Structure 1
C-alpha cells in the first residue's frame, strides 16, 4: 500500500516513537526560534508569507478530505471539520487573512490548548512517511504556532476579556456540536465519549462529568496563558515616580 492509501498496517503509529519525538523536538525548536528572533522577524515583510500560509493550510486540508473520499472513509460521523483543532485551523486561516483581534483572542486559547494536547498525545494511526502523518502534524504545528506568531511578532496581546470571549464561544459552539454528534453518531470535540487513545480526559472523570471538568480546566489554563502572554506595563523610573509624588 502506498503512502496515500487507507491501510495503516505498514505505517502503524506509536506514541513517543522516534518519529513522534522528532516532531516534538521540531516544535520546541520552532517556538524557541520564533521567540528568540521575533525582533528580526518583525523587520521582515511577511504579509505575502502569511497569506501564502493560509492558502497552503486550506490546500492541505482539502487534500485530506480528498484522501478520505478516495479511500472511502469520508463519513459525517468524523469528517465534518468540527473538532476543536479543525475549528482552530480555520480560525488560524481567517486570522492570517484578516488579522482580526477577536479571532486572535479565541485562537490563542483553542490553538495552544487543543493543539498541544494533540501534539503530545496524538490520536493517529499513520506513522511517517504516510500522508496522514504529515497532514496531522503540519496542521497542529501551525495551529499551535500561529497565535504565538501573532503574539510575539505582530504584537497582539490577550486581556481578561479574551477569556470571557473564549468561554462564550465554546458554550455557544458546544450545543451545536452535541446536536451534530447525536445526528451523525460522531464524537466531535469528544462531547460523546473519551478518545480511544490515552489523553488528558482520562484524568477528568467519567462521561458526562469530564465535560464540565474540561471546561473548568480550559478556563483555568486560559488564565495561565493570559498571565504568561498579557501585555505588561513598562516599569516607570523611580526618580520619575518620586517627582510625581512631590
Structure 2
C-alpha cells in the first residue's frame, strides 16, 4: 500500500466520512481563528509566513503533477490549470507575494465560491492518508482562507467594482476554456457536463442551461459576499458622529 500509488481502491473516499468531516471542522477552526485573532496576526513578522505559504502552494502543486506523471495519469484533458480552484491557487500565490489588490478582488470570489463547493462536495477518489487527499484539501483550504486573511487581517475590502471585475474575468475566460474542452475532451470549469459526484450543479438544470444558472448564481453570491465584507464607511461615520454628540453633551452637563 503506497501513499503515492495510483490505485484508489484502498483509499476510497466517501463524502461526509470521518476524514471529510475532520477537514470541515479544521476549516471552521481556521476561519474562526483568523477572525478572532485578526489584530494579533496583523504584523510584519508574518510576512515570511505569507511567502512560505505561497511557496508551499506552488510546491504541492508541482508534486501533484509529478505524481500524475509518475503514475501515468497526466492527461491534457484534466491536468491543465484551468479549473476554478487551480486558477485561484495562482491568484493566491500572486496575492501572497505581491499584495496586489487586483488579485484580491478576483480571488475573494473565486476562492470563496469555488473552494467552498470543493470542500463541502469534493470530487475526490483518494481518502486519508493518500497524498492526493492532502493535496486536494490543503489547496482548497488555503484558497478559501487566504482571501479571508487579507480581508480581516490585512484590511483589504471588496467594492462593487470587484464583483463586476470578477464576472468579466470569468466571462473572458469561459470561451477559451470551452475551446480547450472541445479539442481535449476535457470538462474544465464543468462547462462540458456536470461532475459525476453530487454537487450544487445538480440543482441548476440540464446542460447547457445550468451554465447560465451557475453564472447568475455566482453573480448573486458575489453580491452577498460584497455586502458582508465591504467597508462600511457610513456606519463608521455615524458612530463617530454619535460619539461626538455624547462628548458634547457631557461638556454641557459638566
User: Smaller-chain TM-score range?
Assistant: over 0.9
Deviation at 1:46, TM superposition (A): 1.0
Alignment of 1:55-70 (within 5 A): 55-70=55-70
CA distance in structure 1 between the aligned counterparts of 2:41 and 2:85, rounded to whole angstroms? 26
Match of 1:50 in 2: 50
Residues 34, 239 of structure 1: CA spacing in aligned structure 2 closer, same or farther, 3 A cutoff?
closer
Match of 1:122 in 2: 122
Task: Report how many residues are paired.
Answer: 243
Match of 2:180 in 1: 180
- Please list every run of at least 4 consecutive aligned residues from structure 1 whose deviation after the TM superposition is greater than 4 angstroms: 239-243
CA distance in structure 2 between the aligned counterparts of 1:135 and 1:184, rounded to whole angstroms? 24
Name the SS of the counterpart of 2:79 in structure 1.
Answer: coil
Match of 1:149 in 2: 149
Name the SS of the counterpart of 1:158 in structure 2.
Answer: coil
In the superposition, the TM-score normalised over structure 2's length comes to 0.93
In the superposition, the TM-score normalised over structure 1's length comes to 0.96
Match of 1:207 in 2: 207
Alignment of 1:1-246 (within 5 A): 1-43=1-43, 45-233=45-233, 234=236, 235=238, 236-238=240-242, 240=244
CA distance in structure 1 between the aligned counterparts of 2:19 and 2:112, rounded to whole angstroms? 22
Match of 2:251 in 1: none
- Unpaired runs of 5+ in structure 2? 249-254
CA distance in structure 2 between the aligned counterparts of 1:71 and 1:186, rounded to whole angstroms? 19
Deviation at 1:238, TM superposition (A): 3.1
* Larger deviation, residues 45-54 vs 68-77: 45-54
Deviation at 1:241, TM superposition (A): 7.1
Name the SS of the counterpart of 2:45 in structure 1.
Answer: coil
- Considering only CA atoms, is the larger Rg found in Structure 1 or Structure 2? 2
CA distance in structure 2 between the aligned counterparts of 1:96 and 1:228, rounded to whole angstroms? 23
1:165-199 deviation per Cα after TM superposition (whole angstroms, max 9, x unaligned): 00100000000000000010000000000000000
- Write 1 or 2 for the structure with the bigger share of helix: 2
CA distance in structure 2 between the aligned counterparts of 1:196 and 1:32, rounded to whole angstroms? 32
Residues 239, 25 of structure 1: CA spacing in aligned structure 2 closer, same or farther, 3 A cutoff?
closer
CA RMSD of aligned residues (A): 1.3
1:90-131 deviation per Cα after TM superposition (whole angstroms, max 9, x unaligned): 000011111100110000000000000000000000000000
